[in-house]
Amino acid sequence: MKKDAWKWISDNEMMIIAASNKVWELAELGLVEEKSSKFLAGILQEYGFTLEMGVAGMPTAFVATYGKGSPTIGFMGEYDALPGLSQKPVPYQDPIEEGAPGHGCGHNIHGVTGVMGAVATKEVMEQHGLQGTLKFLGTPAEETYSGKVFMVRAGCFDGIEAVFSHHPGRFNVAGLGSSLAMNSAKFHFYGRTAHAAATPYVGRSALDAVELMNIGVNFMREHVVQEARVHYVIESGGKQPNVVPDYARTWYYIRAPERDQVDHIYSWVLKIAEGAALMTQTELKVEFIEGLSNELPSRGLSKLITANMREIGAPEYTDDEMKFAEEMAKTVTREAKIDQLRASKRPGWQQLVEEDVHIDREIHDPWDEKIVWPGSTDTGDVSWIAPTMEFSTASATLEAAGHDWQWTACCGMSIGHKSLIFATKVMAGSAIELLTVPNLLKKIKTEHVEKMKGKKYICPIPADVNPPLEIAREQASK
């Protein structure tokens, strides 16, 4: 049955690549992915899935369902781009439109692997009369506003027994590392204007409050767990020097390995902000934007995915693709490549440097089970609800930097396309095994129950906080 799915994917390879290219060209930012979400939803509807659009208070979030009964298998797909990363599919920096968004994290591939993995599985279910339910969850705004957390809170993942997700990467691996939990919040300070030279004593500087808050947080850093990450930008700080600013705003991300650690640090940051307002006689308003949990990856799903990767085999690359990779390598220093590979902790990374390898074709066993990676993802919240695995395939060269023009280029050309087809086959093959080997899914679900002992999921986003649609639209308009 898996081979039937893989044949369908091979037979429809050009259609799948065209779908990925379409999302790559649209390149829409988080929560405003109107065209991308409608396009992907339309494919699923064409193949017989029923649609529920605009779920969880987000117009670009959707759930597509096929079949009935148990088991219920979930496929996730992202499709948001990043600002300023417009780039042609060439190995040197050349934007399509200067300053426009681009898929610098490969979410054009991410969304399409989920869609086509679900469709290929559905085709096999029809062909062989398999029972079960497939759900594709279109999850917007992973980069900025944690769309999946709002969908978890709304119950979109309830009843799903296992969840597959694929993210473009540098390596073929179903990793078992965790991620940092996170809160995102904006701190608005309101003061009073005055002539900064003639009557400064009349004014109350909101910018002073922002600066004092930032100083306080920077002193706090020494006294929190070393794995924590706290970073900010000043979004608004006044109009001109001779007017005391009556409004200023700073935006914070607070991250740590465990959810309760984030809660502790965030409460400390709130007290620092309140102190800054007291010191400057300004008013403080806190705007909570998003919160997310650390990941709990499924070892059972990792083994399943790794076995399917090896059964399919890693992609081969043409001379032109290797030449592209060699040209891309010239845009990065040897030192930068070493730094990136060292940070990956991939076993034997030194050999990749010595042999001047540009694309890693090896299919790895996960090497990161006890590692907490410094990034954050809303996939973490899904993993608290059901067994979840977000695996990666080599979609970019080893030199390419994530969230950069290099990644956009790779994910818009044939190196990314081969990863797309490979990952789609892996996803479909793994899902079909869960549908046809009942004891396999039972073991995976038992593992998740054991992992959740002593833990209870609490949504990190307060009940009165809605998806920040206006903030997203304002950001996109810039």
Predicted confidence (pLDDT) at residue 438 exceeds the cutoff of 90: no
Residue pair 300/307 in contact (Cβ under 8 Å)? The answer is no
Residue pair 127/184 in contact (Cβ under 8 Å)? The answer is no
pLDDT tens digits, residue range 253-272? 999 999 999 999 999 999 99
pLDDT band per the 50, 70, 90 thresholds, residue 39: very high
Average pLDDT value for residue range 435-461: 96
Beta-carbon contacts of residue 205 (< 8 Å; ≥ 6 apart): 191, 244, 245, 248, 280, 282
pLDDT tens digits, residue range 179-195? 999 999 999 999 999 99
Average pLDDT value for residue range 247-253: 98
How far apart are the C-alpha atoms of 200 and 204, rounded to whole Å? 8
Cis before 71? omega within 30: yes
The alpha-helical segments, DSSP class H, found in 47-183 are 107-128, 147-153
Average pLDDT value for residue range 121-135: 97
- Determine the topology of domain 181-293 in CATH: Alpha-Beta Plaits (3.30.70)
Which ranges in the chain are annotated with CATH 3.40.630.10?
A: 2-178+295-451
The whole-number pLDDT of residue 128 equals 97
pLDDT band per the 50, 70, 90 thresholds, residue 475: confident
Predicted confidence (pLDDT) at residue 147 exceeds the cutoff of 90: yes
pLDDT band per the 50, 70, 90 thresholds, residue 81: very high
The whole-number pLDDT of residue 290 equals 92
Which ranges in the chain are annotated with CATH 3.30.70.360?
A: 181-293
How far apart are the C-alpha atoms of 314 and 363, rounded to whole Å? 7
Residue pair 345/368 in contact (Cβ under 8 Å)? The answer is yes
Beta-carbon contacts of residue 225 (< 8 Å; ≥ 6 apart): 256, 257, 261
How far apart are the C-alpha atoms of 439 and 432, rounded to whole Å? 13
What's the whole-number average pLDDT of the chain? 97
Q: Where are any strands of DSSP class E within 216-302?
A: 229-236, 247-256, 283-292
Beta-carbon contacts of residue 98 (< 8 Å; ≥ 6 apart): 86
Determine the 3-state secondary structure of 210 from DSSP.
Answer: helix
Taking each helix axis from N to C end, the angle separating 34-46 and 13-26, rounded to the nearest 10 degrees, works out to 160
Predicted confidence (pLDDT) at residue 460 exceeds the cutoff of 90: yes
- Determine the topology of domain 2-178+295-451 in CATH: Aminopeptidase (3.40.630)
Burial 300-328 (b: 16+ CB within 10 A, else e): bbbbbbbbbbeebebbebeeebeebbeeb
**Beta carbons within 10 angstroms of residue 32's beta carbon:** 21
Torsion of CA 270, 276, 277, 282, to 10 degrees: -140
The one-letter amino acid code at 441 reads L
How far apart are the C-alpha atoms of 398 and 128, rounded to whole Å? 41
Predicted confidence (pLDDT) at residue 352 exceeds the cutoff of 90: yes
Residue pair 226/243 in contact (Cβ under 8 Å)? The answer is no
Predicted confidence (pLDDT) at residue 478 exceeds the cutoff of 90: no
